[in-house]
Amino acid sequence: MARRILALLALPVLAGLSACQEDGEGIPVPSGRALSLIEVVTNAPGTEGAAARFRFLAPGLTPDEAEAAAVDMQALCDGYALPRTEGMVPAPRQIIISFSGKNLPFGQTAPDVVQFFESYAIGTGTCIWEQF
């Protein structure tokens, strides 16, 4: 019974993720953080081959938000990124979600900008967290 209640409570969040705008504005995540999609990178392979990297701007991101960011990233992978990998060529074997406090070019590091990354294998209808 408790699982059914939790599943019903999660439906509005997941429905909102799949119905959000393509530009990423106003993507709902469990923490309530304001995010916007910077870009989707598909031409840089991951550790498992073809990868789809979904890069999000998270203004005001701080180092102490890593745990909340990990929960948000799982929700984004399952409800936002995974559905958008359908039909990608080559088919990604991995989804990488990143948050950055500032909009930096792909691959650029900046010691003063907080960035978080999580990697996921693509399962049947779900993202499976991988140690990055």
Residue 128: its H or E element: strand 127-130
**pLDDT tens digit at each of 132 positions of the chain:** 433 333 333 333 333 333 334 455 578 899 999 999 999 999 888 888 899 999 999 999 999 999 999 999 999 999 999 999 999 999 999 999 999 999 999 988 899 999 999 999 999 889 999 986
Is the sign of the CA dihedral 71, 74, 79, 80 positive or negative?
Answer: positive
pTM of the full structure = 0.79
Question: Which DSSP category does 92 fall into?
Answer: P
Q: For residues 132 and 118, give the distance between their C-alpha atoms in angstroms, rounded to a whole number.
A: 6
Q: Which of 119, 127, 71 is nearest to 98 (CA)?
A: 119
